[in-house]
Amino acid sequence: MNKKKILIVHNYYQIPGGEDTVVASEKQMLTDHGHEVVFYSKTNADLRKMGKIQKLLLPINTIFNFKTYKEIRRLIQQARIDIVHVHNTLNLISPSVYYAARSCKIPVVQTVHNFRLLCPGAVFYRNGHVCEDCVKKGLLCAVRHRCYRNSRIQTLACMLNLKFHRLTGIYKKINYICLTEFNKEKLLTQKQIEPERIFVKPNFIEGGNEIVPASQRNNQFVFAGRLDELKGVKIMFEAWRKMGNNAPMLFVCGKGPLEKWCTDFIRENKLTMIKMLGFIPNVEVRKIVAISKGILLPTQWYEGFPMSIIEAFSVGTPVVCSALGNAGNIVTEGITGTKFECTSVTELILALKRLSYSKHIHETTINEYLKKYTQLENYKKLNWIYENLR
C-alpha cells in the first residue's frame, strides 16, 4: 500500500507549549513509518518584528492570510500532497489553509488541541470557574468578558474569525481529530459539524521505563504543573492539612503565581508531609512518578490533553484527578486511577483512600497505556483516520 504524503501545518505560539511537542512527535512518527512529510510553519514570535502597517493588517490576516493560501497551494501541487494535517492556525497562518487545500481537492484534518473553535479564549474558563457562555448565549459574551488576553479588541478579532468561517461553511467541509470523547461532545455543539467527520485519537508518548512493583513504591504522591488556582493547588493543600500526620508524602514540582502562598501555607500549618521541589526537568519528574503511589491532577478547568497523565500511565502510576473535562475523561475509576468532584476537599481525600485500597491498579494502569498510548497504537489509529477522511 502506498504511504500517504502528508503536509503538516502548525502555527507556533510565542511561548512554547504542549502542542509543539505533539506536532514534533507525530511528524517523527509518520517519518519513522515511511511517510513523506512536508512541514509548513509560522511562529507568533515574528509578531514582535512587524512594522506598523503589518500590525494594522494583522486582524485581516488572522481571518484570511492570502500569502498562506498561495504558499499552501504551491506546496500541495509541487510535493503532490495527499493529506493536509493542521494543528494550529492562530495568528499568522489563518484558516486560509483549509481553503487552499479544498481548492486543490485535498482532504484536510484539523487536530483539536483546545476549545478555540467554540470559545475565543480557547479554554472555557473565566473568573475562577468553567464558562460555556459562548456556546449557550453566543460569541459576543467573550468580547464582553475580554476572554482572549484580557483585551476586547483582540477577543473581537478572534470572534470575527470564528463568525466569518462559520458563515462560509468551511468548518463543515473539513475533518477533525479530537483527543478525547469529551472533546468530541463539545465540538458537536457546533451544529455545522457532522459526527462522521470527527475522529478520536489521543496523544502518545514513548515508554520504555522500568515499571516499579506496587510493593516497592514509596508512600508518596506527586503534583507536577503550574502552581495556579486553575490547577486546584489550594484544594490539594487543604486536603493535606485536613489529613495531618496521616497524609502520605506529597512532592510538588513546578512554579507559578501561588508559589509564595504554598510555602506560607506549609509553614503556617506545619505540613511536614509536603515538599516543594520547584521546577525540575521532566525526566526527573518522571523518575519520582515511577516510584510513587500516584500523581495528583486536581484541575478546576477542562484542560486540553494533560500529557502528565499518560506519562504516569507509561510507568504504571495511577492518577487521582478531578472528574471534570478531558482529564476526567482519560482516567477510568478503579482502572487507571480515582476521581473526585473538583471543588470538594473531602472527596479528594476519599479518592486518595480508594486508590490506596486498590491492589491491582498499577497493573491495570500500565495495561491501559500499552493498549492506547504507545507510538505504535497511535500510528495505527492515525493511519486509519487518514484512510477514512472525507
> How many structural domains compose the chain?
2
For residue 129, being part of any structural domain is answered with: no
pLDDT of residue 170: 97
pLDDT of residue 1: 62
**Same domain flag for 189 and 295:** no
Same domain, 32 and 176: yes
368 shares a domain with 223: yes
| Position 73 pLDDT exceeds 80 | yes
Quick check: pTM over 0.85? yes
> Is residue 128 in some structural domain?
no
Residues 312 and 246 occupy one common structural domain: yes
Site of grid cell 488556582: 229
Sequence-distant contacts of 327-332: CB under 8 A, at least 24 apart: 327/297, 327/299, 327/303, 328/182, 329/180, 329/181, 329/182, 330/180, 330/202, 330/305, 330/306, 332/368
CA distance 92 to 264: 43
Q: Does the residue 340 lie in any domain?
A: yes
What is the three-class DSSP state of 328? helix
> Does residue 131 lie within any of the structural domains?
no
Residue 304: which of 130, 114, 177, 176 has the closest Cα? 114
Q: How far apart are CA 157 and CA 254, in angstroms?
A: 33
Residue-wise pLDDT tens digits, 299-351 = 999 999 999 999 999 999 999 999 999 999 999 999 999 999 999 999 999 99
Ordered alpha helix ranges (H), 86-244: 96-103, 133-136, 140-145, 152-168, 181-187, 233-243
Query: Is the domain of 378 the same as that of 354?
Result: no
For residue 188, is it within any domain?
yes
Nearest Cα to 90, choosing from 177, 161, 192? 161
The CATH number for 344's domain is 3.40.50.2000
Percent of all residues in the chain with a pLDDT value above 90, rounded to a whole number: 88
Q: Kindly state whether residues 42 and 93 are assigned to the same domain.
A: yes
Q: pLDDT digits over 204-226, tens only?
A: 998 777 899 999 999 999 999 99
Residue 275, strand partner residues: 251
Confidence of residue 57 (pLDDT cuts 50, 70, 90): confident
189 and 304 share one domain: no
Q: Are residues 196 and 266 in the same domain?
A: no
170: containing domain: 6-118+163-204+374-387
Please check whether residue 48 lies inside any domain of the structure: yes
Q: Clarify whether residues 234 and 188 are in a common domain.
A: no
* Residue 123 phi, psi dihedral angles, 5° rounding: -125, -5
Q: Is residue 143 part of a domain?
A: no
**166-211 pLDDT tens trace:** 999 999 999 999 999 999 999 999 888 999 999 999 999 987 778 9
Note whether residue 123 is domain-resident: no
Largest CA distance in the chain: 67
Same domain for 179 and 220, yes or no, is: no
Q: Mean of the pLDDT values across residues 70-99? A: 97
Section 136-150 average pLDDT = 93
pLDDT at 55: 83
* Nine-digit cell string for 83: 493529506
Dump pLDDT digits (tens) for 7-18: 999 999 998 888
Count CB neighbours of 163 within 10 A.
Answer: 14
* Same domain as 177, residue 100: yes
The pLDDT, as a whole number, for residue 25 is 96
236 and 352 in a single domain? The answer is yes
* Average pLDDT of the chain to the nearest whole number: 95
